Structure 1
Amino acid sequence: MTYSLSRRELLQSVSSGFGYLAFAGLSSAAAAADAGVPASTNPLLPKPPHFPATAKRVIFLCMTGAPSHVDTFDYKPQLAKDHGKQGRYGGQLLKSQWEFRQRGESGLWISDLFPEVARHADDLCLIRSMNCDQPVHPGAQIQMHTGTAQFVRPSLGAWTLYGLGTENDSLPGFVSISPPAGSAQLIGSAFLPAIYGGTGIGRASRIGGAGGQRGSVGDTIPDIRNTRLSTNQQRTQLDLIQALNRDKLDRAGHAPGIEGAIESFELAFRMQDAMPDAMDISGETAETLAMYGADRGDTAAFGKQCLMARRLAESGVRFIEVTKGGWDHHQNLSTDLPQRCGEIDQPIAGLLADLKQRDLLKDTLVIWGGEFGRTPAAQNGDGRDHNNKGYTTWMAGGGVKPGFSYGETDEHGYAAVTDPCHIHDWHATILHLMGLDHTRLTYRYAGRDFRLTDVHGNVMKKIIA
Structure 2
Amino acid sequence: MTPHPADALNRRLFLRHSTALGAAALATLTARAQPFRLPAAKAKRVIYLFQSGAPSQLDLFDPKPQLERRRGENLPESIRRGQRLTTMTSGQATFPTAPSMFKFAQHGKGGLWLSELMPHMATVADDLTMIRSVHTEAINHDPAITFCQTGNQLAGRPSIGSWVSYGLGSENQSLPAYVVLTSFGSGRRDDQPLYDRLWGAGFLPGRHQGVKFRNTGDAVLFLSNPPGVDPAARRATLDRLAALNRQHFDAVGDPETQARIAQYEMAFRMQTSVPELLDTTKEPRAVLDAYGPDVNRPGSYAANCLLARRLAERDVRFVQLFHMGWDHHGGLPAAIRGQCRDTDQPTAALLRDLKRKGLLDDTLVVWGGEFGRTVYSQGALTATDYGRDHHPRCYSVLMAGGGVKPGVTHGATDDFGYNVTENPVSVHDLNATILHQLGIDHEKLTFKHQGLDAKLTGVEHARVVREVLA
Deviation at 1:218, TM superposition (A): 5.1
* 8 Å contact kept, 1:130–1:392: yes
Deviation at 1:247, TM superposition (A): 2.7
- 2:19 is matched with none
Relative to structure 1, the CA distance from residue 411 to residue 305 in structure 2 (aligned partners, 3 Å threshold; closer, same or farther) is same
- 2:329 is matched with 330
* 8 Å contact kept, 1:46–1:167: no
* 8 Å contact kept, 1:116–1:345: yes
Deviation at 1:260, TM superposition (A): 2.1
Residue 183 (structure 1) aligned with residue 171 (structure 2)? no
CA distance in 2, matches of 1:116, 1:300: 21
Deviation at 1:296, TM superposition (A): 6.7
Most deviating of 42-51 and 133-142: 42-51
Letter aligned with residue 372 of structure 2: G
Residue 244 (structure 1) aligned with residue 238 (structure 2)? no
Write out aligned runs for 1:400-439 (5 A).
400-439=404-443
TM-score after normalising by structure 1: 0.84
* 8 Å contact kept, 2:175–2:270: yes
* 8 Å contact kept, 1:399–1:464: yes
Could you list the runs of 5+ residues in structure 1 that have no partner in the other structure?
A: 1-37, 203-216
Deviations 1:24-43 (A, max 9, x none): xxxxxxxxxxxxxx975998
Deviations 1:130-178 (A, max 9, x none): 1000010111010011111035211111111111111101111101101
Relative to structure 1, the CA distance from residue 462 to residue 308 in structure 2 (aligned partners, 3 Å threshold; closer, same or farther) is same
CA distance in 2, matches of 1:97, 1:298: 31
Deviation at 1:310, TM superposition (A): 0.5
- 1:212 is matched with none
Deviations 1:189-223 (A, max 9, x none): 10011111101112xxxxxxxxxxxxxx3599599
* 8 Å contact kept, 1:44–1:173: no
CA distance in 2, matches of 1:44, 1:69: 44
Instruction: Return the match for 1:195 from 195, 207, 210.
Output: 207
Deviations 1:279-321 (A, max 9, x none): 2223222211101114579999211110001001111110001
Write out aligned runs for 1:76-95 (5 A).
76-88=64-76, 89=80, 90-95=94-99
CA distance in 2, matches of 1:454, 1:116: 37
Most deviating of 40-49 and 319-328: 40-49
CA distance in 2, matches of 1:220, 1:105: 44
Deviations 1:214-251 (A, max 9, x none): xxx35995993315311111111111112222233344
Deviations 1:41-95 (A, max 9, x none): 9989995643211111000111111000000011222223322221135411111
Residue 62 (structure 1) aligned with residue 66 (structure 2)? no
- 1:281 is matched with 280
CA distance in 1, matches of 2:217, 2:292: 13
Identity percentage over the alignment? 41
- 2:3 is matched with none
Residue 167 (structure 1) aligned with residue 166 (structure 2)? no
Relative to structure 1, the CA distance from residue 45 to residue 149 in structure 2 (aligned partners, 3 Å threshold; closer, same or farther) is farther
Relative to structure 1, the CA distance from residue 299 to residue 194 in structure 2 (aligned partners, 3 Å threshold; closer, same or farther) is closer
- 1:464 is matched with 469
Letter aligned with residue 123 of structure 1: D
Give the number of equivalent residue pairs: 413
Q: Secondary structure at the match of 2:300?
A: helix
Letter aligned with residue 239 of structure 1: D
Could you list the runs of 5+ residues in structure 2 that have no partner in the other structure?
A: 1-21, 81-93, 184-191
Structure number with greater Rg is 2
CA distance in 1, matches of 2:146, 2:299: 28
Q: Secondary structure at the match of 2:440?
A: coil
Relative to structure 1, the CA distance from residue 45 to residue 412 in structure 2 (aligned partners, 3 Å threshold; closer, same or farther) is farther
Deviation at 1:339, TM superposition (A): 0.9
Q: Secondary structure at the match of 2:350?
A: helix
Write out aligned runs for 1:24-35 (5 A).
none
Letter aligned with residue 147 of structure 2: Q
TM-score after normalising by structure 2: 0.83
- 1:138 is matched with 142
Relative to structure 1, the CA distance from residue 300 to residue 281 in structure 2 (aligned partners, 3 Å threshold; closer, same or farther) is same
